[in-house]
Amino acid sequence: MPHIHIISKLTTSFEAARRSGDLLFFPSTITKHTDSDVEYEIRLCPALQHKAIPPKSITDPEPAYDDRRKDQNPFAPPYNKNLYIGELKDEETQEEFVLLLNKYSVVPQHFLMITKEYKPQTSPLLPSELVQAYSLLLAARESGQRFFAFYNCGKNSGASQAHKHIQFLPIENSEDGPPIEISARKAQITFPDRPFSLNHLSYANHCYRLPSQLHTYGPDQLETVLAQAFLQLLDLAISTIRHDESYPVGSPAYNVILTLEHLHVIPRGKEEHILKETGGKLSVNALGFAGMLLVKSDEELEAVKKESISKILRDVALESVHDIQVDGASHEAPLAGHL
């Protein structure tokens, strides 16, 4: 199976890429910090202070993809042979994807699934992309590893590259998934095929529990479940955005987090939070909403803890309008609210 093949190459490809110097690895340490009933991981990576940041290519509105942009696109061929892991083709749509190791790696084996043909990072996930991402997570689990996937959609989502890419990160310290997954699991839901919201969080979030036997579904059924779940969550995210009168003009921005058990969509209002303590900018992408923040100094780490992660995430996300969306219906569970 091609997905297993990709996963089985990760360890050796990562080590070889690092040795070659084409992959830069930045060591880090993790501090746990509980806030709003979530045990967040704050990753301190001092080496990032000196990293030459690759130029951002994501813009809104999206200009035409011409030769000049192609030359500046790190995800266009020719691929660096040391970062290249392989390719996948969706059987239904014949769409092709390239798998590359993240060149600037803070977590070993962080890899990207990139559309082979140029597509913008401002576009919603397609059914084929969801199926391929889920199949990679499943292949990882079958080979005894755990990954989750995330997608930063739009300029204010924390994305830096304009060429469409979904990212995959191993779950290092826990069998349970990224920190937010613990909350999603705890949520008591009455209607399993409906989205719900984790109401103890400070920001608007839309979540869907995938069927427990999804790994046994055939390709058509798998695609239907994932596509319908995503469309429902996207509808809700857009509805949340529409309630925000100050929402910036341009394409809507949101983060997507996919595990084998849940799909999360978090609408975004802005990319960066200005830390009260230091005045510095803290960029937040899907990882922040998965419960994993990245800081570059002890000072920044202390500033994040002092200000509270809930406040930071609320600032870069949107206010929940879940109560309006459920139209006053009281389906509230202790941690979750149905729609």
Quote the least distance from Cβ 150 to ligand AMP, whole Å: 8
Q: Which is nearer to ligand AMP, 136 or 187 (CB)?
A: 136
Strand partners, 264: 207, 257
Footprint of ligand AMP on this chain (CB under 6 A)?
54, 74, 83, 100, 102-104, 112, 152, 159-161, 285
Catalytic residue annotation = 165
Q: Which is nearer to ligand AMP, 54 or 63 (CB)?
A: 54
Quote the least distance from Cβ 294 to ligand AMP, whole Å: 11
Q: How would DSSP label each residue in 23-92?
A: SEE---EEEEEEETTEEEEEEE-GGGGG--PPPP---SSPPP--HHHHHT-TTSSSPPTTTEEEEEE-TT
Quote the least distance from Cβ 152 to ligand AMP, whole Å: 4
Cα separation, 223 vs 217, in Å, equals 9
Q: Which is nearer to ligand AMP, 100 or 335 (CB)?
A: 100
Quote the least distance from Cβ 323 to ligand AMP, whole Å: 31
Q: Which is nearer to ligand AMP, 17 or 38 (CB)?
A: 17
Under 8 Å between Cβ of 174 and 293: no
Cα separation, 161 vs 59, in Å, equals 9
Q: Which is nearer to ligand AMP, 209 or 296 (CB)?
A: 296
Under 8 Å between Cβ of 205 and 262: no
Q: Which residues contact residue 129 at a Cβ distance below 8 angstroms, ignoring those fewer than 6 apart?
A: 95, 97, 113, 115, 164, 166
Q: How many CB atoms lie within 10 A of CB 268?
A: 30
Residues 58-87 as b or e (16 or more Cβ within 10 Å = b): bebebeebeeebeeebbbbeebeebbbbee
Q: How many CB atoms lie within 10 A of CB 219?
A: 12
Under 8 Å between Cβ of 35 and 310: yes
Quote the least distance from Cβ 285 to ligand AMP, whole Å: 5
Residue for token digits 């103890």? 200
Q: Which is nearer to ligand AMP, 153 or 171 (CB)?
A: 153
